């Protein structure tokens, strides 16, 4: 029971990480470009 719960939580965190990483990277990239051309 607990192991299944941990596995599902880990899967959710993994998906969130995979989705958030490129979004954060793009956000930082846009911020850098904005500062460069400011």
Q: What is the pLDDT of residue 10?
A: 95
- Rg over CA atoms, the chain: 16
Domain that holds residue 33: 1-38
Encode pLDDT of 1-14 as tens digits. Answer: 699 999 999 999 99
Q: What is the pLDDT of residue 38?
A: 77
What is the chain's mean pLDDT, rounded? 94
User: DSSP letters along the chain, please?
Assistant: -HHHHHHHHHHHHHHHHHHHHHHHHHHHHHHHHHHHT-
Can you tell me the distance from the alpha carbon of 2 to that of 20, in angstroms, rounded to the nearest whole number?
27
């Amino acid at each position: 029971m607990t192991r299944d719960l941990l596995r599902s939580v880990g899967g959710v965190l993994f998906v969130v990480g995979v989705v958030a990483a490129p979004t954060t990277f793009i956000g930082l990239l846009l911020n850098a470009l904005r500062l460069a051309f400011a």
